[in-house]
Amino acid sequence: MGQEQSSPVDESVPPQTLEDRSVESVAKYIRDGHAKKIVVMVGAGVSTSAGIPDFRSPDTGLYSNLARLNLPYPQAVFDISFFRVNPLPFYTLAHELYPGKYRPTISHSFIRLLSDKSLLLKLFTQNIDCLDREAGVPEDKIVEAHGSFALQRCIECKTPFPEDLMKQAVSKRDVPHCLTPQCNGLVKPDIVFFGEQLPENFHRNRSLPCTADMCIVMGTSLTVQPFASLPSFCSDEVPRVLINLERVGGLGTRADDVLVLGDCDAGVRKLAAGLGCEKELEAPVGGDQPRAKRQD
């Protein structure tokens, strides 16, 4: 396993595995059957074109737009100690982010396509929006490293809370409480807050990238640990492709790292074109509903 350096690989150093460090070469490598166990690692950037802001982009990111919630600091909205005292800001945000309001993006469809073609080893996502599930990525292929809105429970006695009541509460911006007699604890979706353990599913799968034959990282600043370390678990000779607005996390330091800097939907469209599956990529998700459009 290679030591990450901070400066990009010297362009005059030839790649070991790929023909060159281009999207076309990555597509050819897949077409030739060399990549059959692809790990995909994503963050908020794959959902921004759906209308869900990321955290850290200046001006448009969630953290720079949380002032209206009167938080002591932006991250407090996902802080378990703060939630115990004041859960309202989180439920205000949950009202905006709750699954069902947004449609999957082209980037989500690309991941589903990899799965349909039996090329997806695992999707590691930091997102809580469930758009990968909605795009049709099978549940057993997804590791929601920071949890999601899919389930919810009492933060005290851990009793699961019914989904229909959760939906009602979120739509009315109410704070739901545990139904267990004598408990009445606060209910929270199974999203990992600061100060909470990552899900067991993450720990069970975190060494899987060691066995991958390709890694695609998209739409993440790779700043949150331990998720941020996942790409470094891939073997040195394994191509790692970064499709992101900016260079992040030491990607670009190995001989077979490929940087596709720009919008991730545009990046996966290029890759799909190289794979000859552009039409499949653009196929509607879940019937004829428009893609990536907010359903108010």
Buried b (16+ CB within 10 A) or exposed e, 206-229: bebbeebbbbbbbbbbbeeeebbe
Cβ-contact 259, 247 below 8 angstroms = yes
54 binds ligand CNA (CB under 6 A): yes
Least CB distance to ligand CNA at residue 222 (A): 6
CB of 143 to ligand CNA, least distance (A): 13
Nearer to ligand CNA, 127 or 205 (CB): 127
Residue type, 164: D
25 SS3 class? helix
Residue stretches of the annotated binding site: 154, 157, 178, 183
Q: Which of 87, 66, 85, 84 is nearest to 75 (CA)?
A: 66
Fill in the per-residue mask, 110 to 129: x = in contact with ligand CNA (CB under 6 A), - = not in contact: ----------------xxxx
Q: Which is nearer to ligand CNA, 179 or 224 (CB)?
A: 224
203 catalytic residue (yes or no): no
Cβ(84)–Cβ(186) below 8 Å: yes
Distance CA 165, CA 151 (A): 12
**Residues written for the chain:** 296
Binding site residues for Zn(2+), as ranges? 154, 157, 178, 183
Burial class (CB in 10 A: 0-12, 13-18, 19+), 279: exposed
Q: What's the min distance (Å) between Cβ of 29 and ligand CNA?
A: 22
Nearest residue to ligand CNA, by Cβ distance, number only? 43
Q: Does 109 bind ligand CNA (CB under 6 A)?
A: no
Catalytic site residue from 95, 108, 146, 203 = 146
Question: 276 phi and psi, to 5 degrees?
Answer: 75, 25
Q: How far apart are CA 253 and CA 4, in angstroms?
A: 7
Interface with ligand CNA, residue 206, by CB under 6 A: no
| Closest CA relative to residue 96, chosen from 66, 73, 56, 137 | 66
| Nearer Cβ to ligand CNA (16/60) | 60
Residues 214-253 as x/- pattern, contact with ligand CNA by CB under 6 A: -----xxx-xx-------------------xxx-x-----
Say whether 45 sits in a helix, a strand or coil. helix
Q: Between 55 and 83, name the residue whose CB sits nearer to ligand CNA.
A: 55
Of 19 and 246, CB closest to ligand CNA: 246
Q: Which sequence positions are flagged as catalytic?
A: 146
Which residues of the chain form contacts with ligand CNA (CB under 6 A)? Answer: 43-45, 47-49, 52, 54-57, 61-62, 126-129, 146, 219-221, 223-224, 244-246, 248, 263-264
